Structure 1
Amino acid sequence: MTSPETSTPRATPIKRRAVFLVGGYEPKSSAAFFARTRRELARFCDTWQVTAEMEQATTSPDGMIASAHIEAEIDEKSVATAIHFLVWNDIVLHDFGRPKLLRVAKYLGTLANYLFTGTFHRIVTSAWRVALFFLYPGIMLAAFCWLAGILGWAVSRLAFPGATACGVLAAVALLWGLLQYSGQRWFVTHLMDLWSFSLQYLRDRRPEVQQHVDRFAEAIVDQARTGDEDEIVLVGHSAGGTLILDIAARALELFPELGQSGPRVIILTLGSIALNVGLHPAAKTFRRKVQSLVDAPSLEWIECQAHVDIVNFYRTDPVAAMKLHSTRPGQFPEVHIVRIRKTVSPEFYKRYRYSLFRFHYQFIMANTTRYPYDFFMMCCGPEPFRESLGQELRYNPH
């Protein structure tokens, strides 16, 4: 998959690789993540006719990092990959455990804030479909209130004493039931919490997040200093695309030689929604951290986007969108457009074509057909990470 233009003196076969992955804003445990990884690894082997075995995952004493090792044999080359899953579902579960009314109130406050600060307008002009993703919980909440109001009005019109009071109670009960069951099933309250979290995070009002960031960054620095890997890949998917930039900036702060001595370091953001944070005028701290990555010539950054995924900022240069200054000679980050439809068979695509979140997760799942973008080939293959992705998916927003 490597073209002559992408060959460099460093493009020697990879024997050892470390992958640090932080997922999106979801309650998935490390056990669930590695169960899925094991299943997808088997699919990867079937697709490419290769062999790969994953050891049993282990967890650090503090429970914040879960790790598993994969031994792959590809093109008669052996590659050892250590996948480190960075656990932050405790924060998500804490948010999910708050009272429903508080969660709704925080989302409505976030909605008003994004509207009045002009952030919503910036999101619309950068990637209008993400604006629909932002409005979706509000639209569903309005629909729930409308249904509850209809029921309340109908009950109040009945001819019996106390009909009005019963109508109010019926409306409240239905609204509560819709939030409790339909709201959870259709990701309404989940996405409310995501946007509320984004506003709190960019305002530096989630100190427990920074504690996680510090812990993850220390683990990366330890690996860079003492490990014998050929390369280290820092992966952020979805909302994890925001956190991995924060983590990488913190690691660079702790170890300014990151990527200069020892293994090369590549940042990979997949279906990222980092601009949900980066476009807000109050996100000065976050933009400063991303600027530090832009200013570090030893670090590489690849951003992968897809048209069928409404959650990501399709065809958008995140550094340019945040109005950051870059003196790098090339594009930073490299933006690659992934045709998700080509990563899976026609039957598979037809089956899940209306399940938008399924294709959002395809970024970190195995292909069912051979295609230049394959997350497991990139993580377990013998080619250096950047070269394995190839140049045919490159996109220049300028």
Structure 2
Amino acid sequence: MTVVDRLVVLLPGFEHMPVEAHHRRFVREAAKTAPVYDMQLTETAPLKMSQSDAGVATGEFSLRTSGKDWSTQTDFVLYGLGDITMFYASRNPVVRLLSGVIALLDFVVTGTFFRFVAVSWRYSLFFLYPLVLLGIAIAASFGVHSLVAVSGLGGTLAPLVSALVAAAILLWFAHRKLHLLLLMDDWTFAWDIARGKRPDVLRKLDNVIADAAARIGNAPANTEIVIAAHSLGAICALQVLDAALRRDMSRRYGLLTVGSSLLKVALHPAANALRDSVRTVARSNATWIDVQSLTDPMNFYKSNPVRDLHIPDARFPVLVRVRFRNQLCDEAYKAIRRNLFRVHRQFVFGVERRTHYSWHAILCGPESFADIAKRGGLYCDRPMPAVPAAIKVQGSAAT
């Protein structure tokens, strides 16, 4: 029987979610995926919470998966990056809006936006999305002002008051239904990381990086190490792996970035430290898989981080491209395809059909990370089982 021991460092994207919610989602979606890949799944150690001096929550839990002639024990360390990003959501809405506008303008003035266009033109549309929402709100408020002014109703102040009320209603709708303020927080965070503008935020990230590197360094020699990150978590993942490599260059490390927003920051001219981390990783013996999807407008589809950052004498990541349509039944795909945030999160959600990519099958399954990278994805040519494998999930994570 093949037995695999694995340590996975999980770094979520820009979501204002606590560790407990990320844990519940991971185990729930892993249970959904398990029978698709002929896996039996058991949560062998429930979530254990701790908190660093910097105020970032950390969760530890373990899953055992098994199948015919194999068994895998995976220990997870999940960092609550939401404890860092929650700061942005706690600010006054006007401050959130204005700081986002300033960040977006900075990305234009520095030429970073035009690098987005050159690297992945679809991502430039995501960049423009909040600006389009703001433009619509401003244009509509001016229209209301003109209509009230022409009507002559309500005196001289009526047009201005009406325009402000219209703008407030439209912006509220854009926030509640189209996530405008979350997008503004996201861009402000990226701007702060690129320019190193908030020492308090950077200090918390440095604490996560140091803690993760220490845990990796203390893992037994025969343990497979995988650092897995979604979206903006990829920024932290590259820095964690950089720190781990500086402690021990001899180990084989795996880096899994999915729906990555690494280039969102790394293409900014001020992000020298992040580019140094990418350079260190790309020139090491670490195995890097970068998963992209055409369906998702929030990832750098068809990009290559090493090539696009012009890093010479370095190994390219293994680029895996996935179509979510092929992973889900028609009804499930239709339910999510028009929700850009849900589509972006599909990278870390469960699947209903076997393909060469699955977040949970890679992190919990029997194949070594190096073998998956060598093949360019999971092995998926076997026929589906006639009877799904049994699923056993213990503890509160089943809810």
CA distance in 2, matches of 1:160, 1:364: 54
Q: 1:351 aligns to what?
A: 335
The superposition leaves residues 309-353 of structure 1 with CA deviations (integer Å, 9 ceiling, x where unpaired) of 1111111111111111224xxx42121212322222233223322
What is the aligned length?
Answer: 373
Between the two structures, name the one with larger relative contact order (CA 8 Å, sep ≥ 6): 2
Q: CA deviation at 1:66?
A: 1.1
CA distance in 2, matches of 1:230, 1:21: 16
Larger displacement relative to structure 2 (335-344 or 173-182): 173-182
Q: 1:21 aligns to what?
A: 10
* Counterpart residue type for residue 43 of structure 1: K
Could you state the TM-score of these two structures normalised by the residue count of structure 1?
A: 0.87
CA distance in 2, matches of 1:390, 1:193: 37
CA distance in 1, matches of 2:240, 2:322: 25
Q: 1:111 aligns to what?
A: 104
Q: 2:281 aligns to what?
A: 293
CA distance in 2, matches of 1:293, 1:142: 40
Select 1:123's aligned residue among 116, 136, 157.
116
Q: 2:171 aligns to what?
A: 179
Q: Structure 1 vs Structure 2: percent identity of aligned residues?
A: 28
* Counterpart residue type for residue 281 of structure 2: L
Structure 1 residues 111 and 18, CA gap change in structure 2 (3 angstroms)? same
Q: 1:57 aligns to what?
A: 47
Residue 224 in structure 1 maps to residue 212 in structure 2:
no
Check whether the contact 1:14–1:383 (CA below 8 A) recurs between aligned residues: no
CA distance in 2, matches of 1:241, 1:222: 19
CA distance in 1, matches of 2:253, 2:2: 16
Residue 166 in structure 1 maps to residue 166 in structure 2:
no
Residue 326 in structure 1 maps to residue 332 in structure 2:
no
Residue 209 in structure 1 maps to residue 210 in structure 2:
no
Check whether the contact 1:305–1:338 (CA below 8 A) recurs between aligned residues: yes
Q: 1:142 aligns to what?
A: 135
Structure 1 residues 349 and 65, CA gap change in structure 2 (3 angstroms)? same
Larger displacement relative to structure 2 (89-98 or 138-147): 89-98
Q: 2:389 aligns to what?
A: none
Q: Structure 2 stretches of 5 or more lacking a match?
A: 379-399
Residue 274 in structure 1 maps to residue 262 in structure 2:
yes
Check whether the contact 2:19–2:57 (CA below 8 A) recurs between aligned residues: no
Check whether the contact 2:2–2:71 (CA below 8 A) recurs between aligned residues: no
CA distance in 2, matches of 1:306, 1:363: 9
Residue 81 in structure 1 maps to residue 74 in structure 2:
yes
Q: CA deviation at 1:160?
A: 4.3
Larger displacement relative to structure 2 (164-173 or 236-245): 164-173
CA distance in 2, matches of 1:225, 1:197: 29
CA distance in 1, matches of 2:376, 2:48: 37
Q: Structure 1 stretches of 5 or more lacking a match?
A: 1-11
Could you state the TM-score of these two structures normalised by the residue count of structure 2?
A: 0.87
Structure 1 residues 210 and 13, CA gap change in structure 2 (3 angstroms)? farther
Q: CA deviation at 1:123?
A: 0.5
Structure 1 residues 318 and 191, CA gap change in structure 2 (3 angstroms)? same
Aligned-pair RMSD on alpha carbons? 2.2
Q: CA deviation at 1:360?
A: 1.7
CA distance in 1, matches of 2:143, 2:365: 58
CA distance in 2, matches of 1:35, 1:15: 24
